[in-house]
Amino acid sequence: MSYKVGIMGATGAVGREIIEVLHDRNFPVEKLRLFASVRSAGKVMETPFGEITIENADEADYSEMDIAFFAISGGWSQENAEKATSAGCYVIDNSSAFRYDDNVPLVVPEINANAIGDSKLIANPNCTTAIAAIPLYTLHKEYGVKKVIISTYQATSGAGAAGMSELTEETRNYLEGKEVGNKVFAYPIAFNAIPHIDSFQENDYTREEMKVVWETRKIFSEPDMSISCTCVRIPTMRVHAESIVIETEKPVNPADAKKLLSSVEGVELKDDIANNVYPMPITATKKYDVEVGRIRQNLVFGDHGLEFFVCGDQILKGAALNAVQIAEKL
């Protein structure tokens, strides 16, 4: 079979990446249609599938599509998802609009593809959640994870193409001795680290931090798992890095954990400290697998604790790749 596919938000960073992933993974596309705002409608976009004229997303006829990838705002997704699914079109939504809806599956295919069931609407998780999920779930299945503490070092791509552009432009301004400004981020991002991603909540965590809590619990089907997270924006391009500490029900040792993780789909073990091999944004960029390394016994939790470092491409496994992998399961 081949499928009629639409991408809503095709001109954005995630939309463009979905096009590339569909082609790279030989997804059976019968016809690809690209949609964006009225400003972009009528423009021609070069793609691996040939030149495609962009259409107005607000005028999409979903009866002419089998699968629609929503790489667009949450508000737009809420307004249009039912219109699409009622026309018989599958919707894979990259926004946060439906992630916390009990009636909508939130899916990382390597973990819970069976959650899709007969749902026409499937939510893609937050990038930070998706990058940590596979190694964390692998360890949870084997050892039983009681507590999780995560500190993130998140790339500017998490704020879209505008975030990456601001990093490039303001770094150039800094190096040229010009005034450094900020529009996308709360403060200038060049040569800085900003412990503030998304809005602050009543518990003083940010929404980005709470997304990791809410989504990990839902994907793992562990509503009471103890999770805490601190999210920091740093001046890198497109790879999120995360330091993860876990306390486990069963004793765990690093050697066994390394062996376990080395055999898992979607994970690349990079853990050879004698030769300075460990996960880094520079090596994880544009890579499908999530790099995992620096695996060691945690000094606080002892033989019931593990500490490790992960790096994953925010636009790929954190968004476009996971979305296409969901489509492959439909």
Q: Is 233 annotated as a binding residue?
A: yes
Give yes or no: residues 201 and 304 share one domain: yes
Residue with tokens 């690093």: 254
- Whether 196 sits among the annotated catalytic residues: the reply is no
Question: How confident is the model over 23-43, as a mean pLDDT?
Answer: 95
Find the domain containing 134 and state its range. Answer: 129-314
Give whole-number Cα distances, 302 to 135, 180, 252, in Å.
20, 45, 9
Give yes or no: residues 33 and 140 share one domain: no
Give yes or no: residues 246 and 273 share one domain: yes
Q: Is 217 annotated as a binding residue?
A: no
Question: How confident is the model over 241-253, as a mean pLDDT?
Answer: 98
- Whether 311 sits among the annotated catalytic residues: the reply is no
CB 196 within 8 A of CB 206: yes
CATH number (domain holding residue 15): 3.40.50.720
- On the CB side of 303, CA atoms within 13 Å amount to 2
Question: How confident is the model over 97-118, as a mean pLDDT?
Answer: 96
Strand (E) or helix (H) holding 56: strand 55-56
Q: Is 40 annotated as a binding residue?
A: yes
Give dist(CA 216, CA 130) in Å, integer.
9
Question: How confident is the model over 55-71, as a mean pLDDT?
Answer: 96
Give dist(CA 94, CA 105) in Å, integer.
12
Q: Write down the catalytic residue from 140, 229, 240, 304.
A: 240
- How do residues 257-272 score in pLDDT, each as one tens digit? 999 999 999 999 999 9
Q: Is 207 annotated as a binding residue?
A: no
Q: What is the model's pTM?
A: 0.94
- How do residues 279-318 score in pLDDT, each as one tens digit? 999 999 999 999 999 999 999 999 999 999 999 999 999 9
- How do residues 133-172 score in pLDDT, each as one tens digit? 999 999 999 999 999 999 999 999 999 889 999 999 999 9
Give yes or no: residues 278 and 324 share one domain: no
CB 181 within 8 A of CB 170: yes
CB 54 within 8 A of CB 11: yes
Number of domains in the chain: 2
Share of the chain above pLDDT 90, in %: 98
CATH number (domain holding residue 177): 3.30.360.10
Give yes or no: residues 266 and 156 share one domain: yes
pLDDT band at residue 73 under the 50/70/90 scheme: confident
Q: Is 157 annotated as a binding residue?
A: yes
Q: Across all residues in the chain, what is the average pLDDT?
A: 96
pLDDT band at residue 114 under the 50/70/90 scheme: very high
